[in-house]
Amino acid sequence: MNLEGKVAVVTGSSKGIGAAIALKLAQAGADVAVNYNRDQAGAEAVVRQIVDLGRKAKAYGADVAITEQVQGMFNAISEDFGKIDILVNNAGITRDTLLMRMKEDDWDKVIETNLKSMFLCTKAISKAMLKQRSGKIINITSVVGFIGNPGQANYAAAKAGVMGFTRTIAREFGSRGINVNAIAPGFIESQMTAELPDDVKETMFKSIPLGRFGKPEDVADLALFLASEKSDYITGQVFNVDGGMVM
C-alpha cells in the first residue's frame, strides 16, 4: 500500500494506538501531522521517527475537544502541509466508574474528548476535503460501544456515538469520493489499558479467542488499509480488531 504524496493527520498520536498509526502511515509514504494534548515529548519523538523515515512531520499541541484549538491546529496544518488527504480521529480518554459514582464532569469530559472531537475535527477538514473530492476518514471507536461495559457508561455512550457519526458522515460525503470508516479495538496494550486492575485484565484475557492482548500495530495495520486506495469501495463500516473478543 503506497501513500506517497498523501498528507495524514492523526489526533492523539503522542503515544499508543495513534503513534502506531502515524508511524504506519509514514512507513507507507505519507507525511504526517502529529497531534498531542499534554505529551509534547511523546509527540516530538514520533515526529523524529517519521522524519528519520524520510517523510515530513510536525507536532501540533491542541485539545481536540476545544473548538478554537482545533480550528487553530487545522489552519496551521493546512498552511504547513498544503492539504489533508487522511484524517484519523483517534484521541480518547477514559474516566471509569460505576454510574452511581460517576460525576457530571466524568461524563462531559469523556463525551467531549471521544465524541465531540470527531465533530470538531471532521468539520474542520470537511470544506477542503469535499472540494478536493477525495479523502479517507478513520474514526477510532471501541467494542465497548457495541457491548457496553460496567464502569464505562460515559465511554460506551461516546463510542456508540462515534459509530452513528461514522455511518452518517459516510452517507453525507460518499458522493464526493470520501470514505468514512471506524475501527473498534478490543483490548490493546497501551497506557490506557495499563492502568486497569489485574483482575479486570484477567477476565478480559479469558474472553479473547486468539489468546493474546492486541498491540497498537494490530490496529495500525487496518488503519493503513482504510487509508489506502485498497479500501476505495468500503465506507460506513465499523471493523473490530479484538482477537475475536466480540462476535
Which stretch of DSSP H or E encloses residue 139?
strand 135-140
Pairing status of strand 7-10 against strand 86-89:
parallel
* Nearest distance from C-beta of residue 112 to ligand NAP, angstroms: 8
> Does 140 participate in binding ligand NAP (rule CB under 6 A)?
yes
Among 8, 10, 14, 55, binds ligand NAP (CB under 6 A): 14
Minimal CA–CA distance to 115: which of 144, 141, 87? 141
Residue 38 or residue 133: which is nearer to ligand NAP going by CB?
A: 38
CA dihedral (180, 169, 64, 201) positive or negative: negative
d(CA 36, CA 45): 12
Candidate ranges 15-23, 98-106, 125-133, 171-179; the one touching ligand NAP (CB under 6 A): 15-23
Residue 135 or residue 185: which is nearer to ligand NAP going by CB?
A: 185
Restricting to residues 158-197, name those near ligand NAP by CB under 6 A.
Answer: 185, 187-188, 190-193
Question: Which set of grid coordinates corresponds to residue 41?
Answer: 515529548
Residue 44 or residue 176: which is nearer to ligand NAP going by CB?
A: 44
Q: Say whether 155 is catalytic.
A: yes
Contact (CB, 8 A) for 154 and 178:
no
> What residues line the site for ligand NAP (CB under 6 A)?
11-18, 35-39, 63-65, 90-93, 113-114, 140, 142, 185, 187-188, 190-193
